[in-house]
C-alpha cells in the first residue's frame, strides 16, 4: 500500500521517486528502444495531407462506422462501461478495463478518425 503524503511533506521530485519505487514491482521487463527518426509517412507531403485531413474530420465531427464508436454499433445501444482484454502467455486470462464514457469515447473516436484517415489516403 502506498503511503500518500501531503504536498508539504516532501518535495515533488522525492514524492514522485517514492511512488516510482513503490510501483517498481509491477514492471517485469526493461523498456524497449523506440526510434525517434522514423516516420509512418513516406514524405512530409503525405504527413501534411494526413494531419490536414484528420483536422477536417475532427472539425466536421466525422466519425467513421465500423470502429465501435457509433451508437448503433454498441450492444443494447449503450456505450460499454468496460471491456475485457486477453492477457497472459496464451491469452487465457481476462483483464477488465474501465471505459469511462467522458474520457474514452472521445479518445476512441479520435483513434477511429485517425485510423480511417490513415488507411484511406
Domain span at 66: 40-120
Q: For the chain, what is the mean pLDDT?
A: 82
| Stretch (H or E) spanning 85 | strand 82-87
Give residue 56's pLDDT band: very low, low, confident or very high (50, 70, 90): very high
C-alpha cell at 73: 454499433
When divided into structural domains, the chain yields a total of 1
Domain membership of residue 76 (yes or no) is yes
Identify the CA nearest to 67 among candidates 26, 111, 27: 111
DSSP state of 74: S
Give the whole-angstrom CA distance, residue 4 versus residue 112: 38
The predicted structure's pLDDT at residue 89: 80
Whether 63 shows a pLDDT value over 90: the answer reads yes
- % of the chain exceeding 90 in pLDDT: 31
111 belongs to a structural domain: yes
pLDDT, tens digit, for every residue of 20-53? 777 777 666 777 777 777 788 889 899 999 999 9
User: Over 80: is that where the pLDDT of 84 sits?
Assistant: yes
**Residue 114: inside a domain:** yes
- Does residue 34 fall inside a structural domain? no
Domain for residue 23, yes or no?
no
The answer as to whether 74 is a domain residue is yes
Residue 7 pLDDT exceeds 60: no
Q: How many CA atoms lie within 13 A of 116 on its CB side?
A: 20
Amino acid at each position: 500500500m502506498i503511503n500518500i503524503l501531503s504536498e508539504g511533506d516532501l518535495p515533488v521530485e522525492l514524492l514522485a521517486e517514492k511512488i516510482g519505487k513503490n510501483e517498481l514491482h509491477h514492471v517485469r521487463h526493461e523498456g524497449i528502444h523506440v526510434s525517434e527518426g522514423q516516420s509512418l509517412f513516406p514524405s512530409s507531403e503525405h504527413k501534411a495531407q494526413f494531419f490536414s485531413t484528420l483536422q477536417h474530420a475532427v472539425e466536421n465531427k466525422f466519425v467513421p462506422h465500423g470502429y465501435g464508436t457509433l451508437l448503433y454499433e454498441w450492444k443494447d445501444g449503450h456505450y460499454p462501461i468496460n471491456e475485457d482484454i486477453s492477457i497472459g502467455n496464451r491469452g487465457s486470462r481476462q483483464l477488465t478495463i474501465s471505459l469511462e464514457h467522458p474520457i474514452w469515447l472521445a479518445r476512441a473516436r479520435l483513434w477511429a478518425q485517425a485510423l480511417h484517415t490513415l488507411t484511406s489516403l
